[in-house]
Amino acid sequence: MSVSELINSVKSTIAVILVFLLLPVSSLETKVTHEAKNGEELVASFTVLSDCHVETNNYDSYSLFKTILLDAKATETKDAAIFLGDNTMNGQVAENALFFGALKAVRPADETLVVMGNHDVGNGEGDYEKMSKQFLSYNKTFLGESHEKPYFYKVIKGCYLICLATEESTVNTMKMTDGQYNWLKAVLDEADEKDAPIFVFNHYPVNYMEGDYEYLSDLLNDYESLVYFSGHNHFALTEYSFSVTNGVRGINLPRCTETVTQGHDCGIGAVVEVYEDEVLVRIRNFVTGQWLTEFERSYSI
């Protein structure tokens, strides 16, 4: 083990100890509270949450974050948990230690995928190169994910889970280079050849691109079995959270750790159930443990 790996390992241990001090071990125990609609035919199941905004001086928000993680864990099938970016408020070391430490302590799913948001790299004012490398190191140290770049993908039970990332320290727009675009196309083609369900996770909605956003949506809408998830704007969950943008089926989730105006309370996220010819998206309040059945959506694949 190298010196840097040893230092990271020590940091990880300290972070998990801190999480246990803030969130007692007894509170991390869970029992099954919710199941898939059709468990016998279920192919895979994922939890999707956005904009946790963990910060060191907001314990109430962090306590809500813990409650959300425990409810996400308390399901019979939990193949993956995906976080759509702005996981921290300022991208600080202590905030990342609390966020990733909680993921490691609770283990809300068998696999955990973390998308990078604008707040995680300084919200337009940070050193992108430095903070994006830190993001990768947190993924490796806490989750064991050795991503070379902040955009990556994973195949879980035959489903392609693709995570995108801005390549500059932006605020309200995503910067995507030709390198990421070409990589994305290659992964999409690979998934399409295998007739696999495709899920694209990005902090930004598909039209929040620098320049002409249609070059991204023009690519994505060529794949019929694709569903796109985003966060960022903190909008309340309404029927407009489910949209088709230039042919791309998209779902925009609100901030999960803060009450939003003109909508539901904090704790809102999605449970994605994959069946042989259908993707069922169920919206859940992970704080109250309630399903919001009026927002349930079914997509053919």
pLDDT tens for each residue of 148-207:
999 999 999 999 999 999 999 999 999 999 999 999 999 999 999 999 999 999 999 999
Range of weakest confidence among 45-54, 56-65, 107-116: 56-65
CA angle 49, 84, 265 (to 5 degrees): 35
Specify the residue for token string 């803060």.
Answer: 258
Query: Stretch 57-67: mean pLDDT, rounded?
Result: 86
Query: Stretch 1-17: mean pLDDT, rounded?
Result: 57
Domains of the chain in start order, with CATH, are: 3-300 (3.60.21.10)
Using the predicted structure, report yes or no on whether residue 264 has a pLDDT greater than 90. no
pLDDT at 19: 60
Query: Measuring CA to CA, which residue among 254, 271, 264 is closest to residue 72?
Result: 271
Which residues make Cβ contacts (< 8 Å) with residue 84, sequence separation at least 6?
A: 48, 49, 50, 51, 115, 117, 201, 202, 203, 229, 230, 231, 232, 253
Using the predicted structure, report yes or no on whether residue 143 has a pLDDT greater than 70. yes
Query: Stretch 117-141: mean pLDDT, rounded?
Result: 93
For 19, list phi and psi in degrees, rounded to 5.
-60, -45
Query: Stretch 90-94: mean pLDDT, rounded?
Result: 90
Per-residue pLDDT of 195-218, as tens digits, reads 999 999 999 999 999 888 889 999
Cα atoms in the Cβ-side hemisphere of radius 13 Å centred on 117: 31
